[in-house]
Amino acid sequence: MVQPYKHEPLTDFSIEANRQAYLQALKTIEGELGKDYDLVIGGEKVSTEDRIISVNPANKQEVIGRVSKANQELAEIAMQAAVEAFKTWKKTKPEVRADVLFKAAAIIRRRKHEFSALMTKEAGKPWSEADADTAEGIDFLEYYGRQMLALKNGMSVQSRPNEHNRYGYIPLGVGVIISPWNFPFAIMAGTTVAAIVSGNTVLLKPASTTPVIAAKFVEVMEEAGLPKGVLNFVPGSGSEVGDYLVDHKDTRFISFTGSREVGLRIFERSSKISEGQIWMKRLIAEMGGKDTIVVDSEADLELAAQSIVASAFGFSGQKCSACSRAVVVEDVYEQVLNRVVELTNQLTVGDPSDISNFMGPVNDHGAFKKIMEYIEVGKQEGKLMTGGEGDSSKGFFIQPTVFADLDRKARLMQEEIFGPVVGFTKAKNFDEAIEIANNTEYGLTGAVISRNRAHIEQAREDFHVGNLYINRGCTGAIVGYQPFGGFNMSGTDSKAGGPDYLLLHMQAKTTSEMF
C-alpha cells in the first residue's frame, strides 16, 4: 500500500544548518565543474567530439560541463533503441514502473541540495528558486507514481448478462520529450517520468543551456533501476535533433514545454504524416504566457504590491507564469504602483551563489539582448519607473524594471518578454480590468486581488486562464494542488501535476467478452 503523499517541503534557509548544507553542496558542484557528460542510448554511454558547453550565466567564464551532442544519426539509433525497449517496458507491471519513480525520488531527496546547487550554477537560480525546482521534481516523481497506481486497473464500465466488459489504459509508444531551461529539473524530469511511468519509452532532448542537470537526472533514473533503452538521452540542437525526432515516423507522441514559436512549429510539423507512419501523433505542448495580476479598488493593496513584485521578479521573471502585466483599477493605481516601485528598489541583483541576492542573471546572451530590446520599446511606450539597466560584462544581469501608463495594446502588454519587466496599465473599473486581462493571445496564469466577493466570482467565471489565483501571486503552482497548464496560445492545457495528466500519455482500450 502506497502512503498518501503531500508535497516536498521547501528548505528553510533561515536555519543555519540548512545554509551550511547548501554552501557545502555548492562546493561539491564547484569540484565537478567542467566535467564531460555522455549521451545515453539503449543504456550505453556515447561520447561525441561535438559538445554543448554549458556555462554559468552569472559568470560566463565558468564552464559547468561539456555535454556530448546528438546528431541525426545518433538520434536515429536512439529512436530504434526506444522502439525496441517499448516491447518489454509496456508489459512491465505498473507497480514496478511506479517503484522506479519512488526510488528515484528517494535518491534525489537525499542529494537535494546538490541538485539545487547545480541549478544555481547552471541556470542562475537563487537558492530558494532552485530549492523549489528540485522539490517540484521530487513531487512529480511521487505524484505520477501514485497516479499510475490509481489508473492501472482502468475505469469501470457496465456489462450486460453473459458479457464482460473492461476498459483500461495502455501506453502509446515512443515519446519525444523536449524541455525548457527555466525549470531545468522539475519540468525536464516531470515530463519525462510521466511518459515513462505510463509505459512509454522516451528520447529526452533537454534545453541546450541546461543539459548537465538533465544528465544527472538520467544517472539517477538508471540508479533507480530503469531498464536500458527506456530513457534515451539525446541533447542536441533543437533545429537539428528536435525537428528530426518530431518528424520521425516512429514518434508516437511529443511532450514539449517551451516557447509559443517552437511549440507552433512542432504542432505543424507533427501533424504531417511521414512515410511509413501509421498513427496521428499526439502533442502535449505547454507554451508561453503573458500573465496578469488584476488589482481591484476594494483590495489589500499591500498584498497586491507584494504579489506583483514576487511574481514579476522571482527568478528574474523567467517563468511562464510570471506576472508581466499589472492591471489596476484607477482609484488605487498610483498607490499600488508607488508601493511596487518602493519594493522593487529594495531587491538585490547579483551572483545567485550568494544567498543575499534576490535575483540572479537571465539565461544567456540571447535572453539578455531580447529583454534589453524590450526595455527600449518600453521607454517609447510607457514611463520607466525604476530599473531599465543591464550589465553583461561578467554575467547577464538586468535590474528589475517597472513601466507605468502603458496602453493595453502596447507591445509590452502583449508580447512575452520572459525577463524582469512588469508593465502597469489603468482600468476604469473591475469590468474593464478583466476585459484588459483577457486581451492577449495567451491564457496561462492570472491573479485577482480583491475583497469584493462578487468581483471574485466574476473573475472565476470570466478571467480566461488555465490557472487563476485569488488574493495571492500568479506563480508557484504545486504538484497535486494546482494542476498547471494554459489556454489559447499558452498550449494544450495539459495540466501537469494533475489527475488527468498521465492519460495524455496513454490510450484507452475496450475489451468485451461473451460468456
Residues labelled catalytic: 286, 320
Site for ligand NAP in 292-321 (CB under 6 A): 320
The answer to whether the CB of 352 falls within 8 A of the CB of 126 is yes
- Options 42, 168, 238, 476; binder of ligand NAP; rule CB under 6 A: 238
Short-list 180, 440, 445, CA closest to 312: 445
Angle formed at CA 96 by CA 511 and CA 509, multiple of 5 degrees:
15
Considering only 184, 288, 388, 423, the residue that binds ligand NAP (CB under 6 A) is: 288
d(CA 57, CA 212): 14
CA distance between the termini of the chain: 33
Q: Are 139 and 496 in contact (CB under 8 A)?
A: no
Q: By CB under 6 A, which span of 27-35, 80-88, 255-263, 339-347 interacts with ligand NAP?
A: 255-263
Phi/psi region, residue 332 (left: phi>0; alpha: psi -120 to 50; beta: rest), is: alpha
Query: Which of 117, 130, 230, 266 touches ligand NAP (CB under 6 A)?
Result: 266
- Name residues whose C-beta falls within 8 Å of residue 77's C-beta, 6 or more positions apart in sequence: 41, 42
Q: Which DSSP helix (H) or strand (E) runs through 30?
A: helix 16-32
Cα separation of 23 and 12, whole Å?
A: 14
Query: Is 333 or 442 the residue whose CB approaches ligand NAP more closely?
Result: 442
State how far the Cα of 230 lies from the Cα of 203, in Å rounded to an integer: 8
Q: Kindly provide the b/e burial profile for residues 322-350, where b requires at least 16 CB atoms within 10 angstroms of the residue's own CB.
A: bbbbbbbbeebbeebbebbbebbeebebb
Q: Which is nearer to ligand NAP, 378 or 483 (CB)?
A: 483
Q: Answer yes or no whether residue 274 interacts with ligand NAP by CB under 6 A.
A: no
Nearer to ligand NAP among residue 154 and residue 238 (C-beta): 238
C-alpha cell belonging to residue 207: 534545453
Which residue among 25, 193, 287, 504 contacts ligand NAP (CB under 6 A)?
Answer: 287
For ligand NAP, the closer CB: 287 or 336: 287
By beta-carbon proximity to ligand NAP, the closer residue of 469 and 484 is 484
Q: Which is nearer to ligand NAP, 120 or 321 (CB)?
A: 321
- Tallying the residues shown for the chain, one arrives at 515
Output the nine-digit C-alpha cell for 399: 535590474
Judged by CB under 6 A, does residue 169 bind ligand NAP?
Answer: no
Q: Quote the least distance from Cβ 500 to ligand NAP, whole Å.
A: 15
With respect to ligand NAP, which residue has the nearer C-beta, 180 or 400? Answer: 180
What does the DSSP 8-state code read for residue 185? T
Residue 181 within binding range of ligand NAP, rule CB under 6 A: yes
User: CB under 6 A: which stretch of 61-69, 162-170, 259-267, 341-349 binds ligand NAP?
Assistant: 259-267
Among 395, 491, 497, 498, binds ligand NAP (CB under 6 A): 491
Q: Which member of 39, 193, 214, 246 binds ligand NAP (CB under 6 A)?
A: 246
129, 381, 416, 493: residue in contact with ligand NAP (rule CB under 6 A)? 416
265 near ligand NAP, judged by CB under 6 A: yes
Residue count, binding to ligand NAP (CB under 6 A): 35
Tell me whether residue 120 or residue 494 sits nearer to ligand NAP (CB atom).
494
Q: Minimal distance in Å, beta carbon 42 to ligand NAP?
A: 22
Residue 117 to residue 353: CA distance in whole angstroms? 8
How far is residue 202's CA from residue 256's CA, in Å, rounded to a whole number?
12
Specify the stretch interacting with ligand NAP by CB under 6 A; choose among 72-80, 152-160, 285-293, 304-312: 285-293
Q: What residues from 203 to 222 belong to the interface with ligand NAP (CB under 6 A)?
A: 205-208
Taking CB under 6 A as the criterion, the residue among 184, 289, 352, 360 binding ligand NAP is 289
Considering only residues 418 through 447, tell me which ones interact with ligand NAP, judged by CB under 6 A: 418, 444
230 burial level (CB within 10 Å; 0-12, 13-18, 19+): buried
Measured CA to CA, the distance from residue 492 to residue 348 in angstroms comes to 36
Which spans of this chain sit near ligand NAP (rule: CB under 6 A)?
178-183, 187, 205-208, 237-239, 242-243, 246, 257-259, 262, 265-266, 286-289, 320, 416, 418, 444, 484, 486, 490-491
